Every structure is written in structure tokens, then in C-alpha cells.
Amino acid sequence: MGVRVLPRPLRALRATIIAPALGLRAGAASDAGTHRAVNQDSAFTSAWAAAVADGVGGGPGGEIASSVFVHRLMAGAREPIEVEQLATLLRIANWDLRALVERDPALDGMATTFTGLFVAPGGTLLLAHTGDSRAYLLRDGAMSRETRDDSFVQLLVDSGVVRPADAAFHPQRNVITASLRGGEDDRIALMEPSVRVGDRWLLCSDGVSDYVPDEELVALLAQGDAQTAAEAVVGLALTAGSRDNVTAVVGDVVPDPAWTVRPVFHGAARDRFTESLDGGNRESA
């Protein structure tokens, strides 16, 4: 069992600007929303990695899948990481999902999306993605979407059956075509985006992207620090009537970040686990 890492990016690999010591200053916010009893989204933030995972599955399955995956991943990713090491850690975290199902067949069918940004040695970034959680990049006032949804509606858009403007309103927009569930055929794309000091990244679950237009995201992301921006994005999604869990992670690319600051977990990953990676008490979001 494992996960197939797809080394191809969504577009041709772009030249990466090498810097001596780049990292992230990140903040996050996560809310179950007004239409869901349980928050199945998980997220983490640190100086060297940030990510969002959206759990899939009835009952407790979704929150277990997302929270277990991100905790297992961060147990091994405690500093800037090479692409080969990251690929291995993604496989190990996926194995944990299969092991849980083997111990408790009632969890069969649980899965999680995952979109994560990782600092690599030499001042580069790695972007890992599967499912329909998204990554956006704000640079010089312009925002670009850096991931392609693994979804049924995206396939319809690609084939010309559905217009991009109508995708957010399609009744099957939540049907995904890829996720992590502990299977041998699970797949995740690893990309190397370009990086500059001052870049701002938004990683979010579909509870944000299905309800907040891109132009409104740009306006929010252009203001405040990372934590303030993340809270503003979640607040706007809730105001817009999101019927899903809502999670936003905002990460700013900065020189010489605070490497000693411990990772912080959010959403289901915070609620289901009471200890931090080093055995101390959990940190609040």
C-alpha cells in the first residue's frame, strides 16, 4: 500500500529563485461552519511547512483521515525537506490511513484531500496536492491558482462541457477524482513553484473556494498579516453562506524565519490530538 507521487507539475517547471534562507510566516483559521456538526478539515502551520486537508467519509471517518494524515506527516517533517524525503513521508502517512481501516473496518471509505507547501533546502519550495483543496499565490498584487482540482467538474471544464464560470454552481462540484485513503493507487502531485520573498500563499478547503470569488480573495489577501488574512478569508466564506467546513492557511515567504517555533495544528487535527510533536501541550490556533 502506498501513494504514487506524480512528479509532473501543472505547467512546465519554472525557474526557481535561489535564496540562502527562506521560510514561512504562516497563520490559519478553521471553522466547522453553520451547516456541519463536525469539522473534518485539518491544517498545520510552521516556519518550514503549511497545509490543509479536507476529510472525506461519513461519521468520524473524515476528521480521522485528515487529522491522522497531517499529524503523521509533520512527525517526520520538522525542518526544510528534500523532495525524495517528502515523497517518502507522504507514503508513510498514507499507510497509516490503511492501517486504521484494517484495525477498524467501520472506517472503510474514509479519505482526505491534501494541499501542502514545504520549504526545501536552498531556498526552494515544494507544493504537494491531491483532491480539490486549493493553493493560490499572490505576487505583486496579482493572484494565480497553483493547483488543478482533482474533481469531476474539473474534468467537465477541461472537456468544454461546463464553463469555468459555472463550475462553482454545478450540483456535482464536490465529487472528487483523487484523494488519499491508504490505497496502492492513490496519487499526489509534487511541484516546484517559483519563490520570491514577499510572496503570499493561500491554501484552502473547498468550503472557501466554492463560495468566495477569486477577486474577493485578492482583496482580503492584500491586507494584514498572515493570521489576520486567514481569519478574514474564513469569515467571508461563512458570511457568503458556505455549507461546508471552512479552512484557510496563509503563508508569507520571508527570509530567516523563526525556525524554533513549534508547528501549530488547526481544525480536526487540533481537536482530536492533545499533545504537540514534542510531547508538550498543544498550542492553540
**Domains of the chain (ranges, CATH numbers):** 3-8+21-146+176-272 (3.60.40.10)
Grid coordinates representing 93 are 502517512
Mean pLDDT of the chain, nearest integer: 84
Average confidence (pLDDT) over 83-97: 95
Average pLDDT over residues 109-119: 95
* The predicted structure's pLDDT at residue 5: 60
State the pLDDT at residue 154.
Answer: 52
pLDDT higher at 201 or 257: 201
For range 83-108, the mean pLDDT: 94
- Segment 37-46, tens digit of pLDDT: 899 999 999 9
CB-based contacts of 32: which residues, under 8 Å, 6+ apart? 38, 39, 245
- Average confidence (pLDDT) over 148-158: 61
d(CA 155, CA 149): 9
- Smallest Cα–Cα separation from 224: which of 248, 196, 193? 248
21: pLDDT strictly greater than 60: yes
According to the model, what pLDDT value does residue 285 have? 33
Mean per-residue pLDDT, 153-182: 62
Higher-pLDDT residue of 246 and 178 is: 246
What's this model's pTM, rounded to 2 decimal places?
0.86
Cα–Cα dist 52/43, whole Å: 4
What are the percentages of helix, strand and coil residues in the chain, rounded to 5? Answer: 30, 30, 40
The C-alpha R_g of the chain, in whole angstroms, comes to 17
The pLDDT assigned to 280 comes to 41
Largest CA distance in the chain: 52
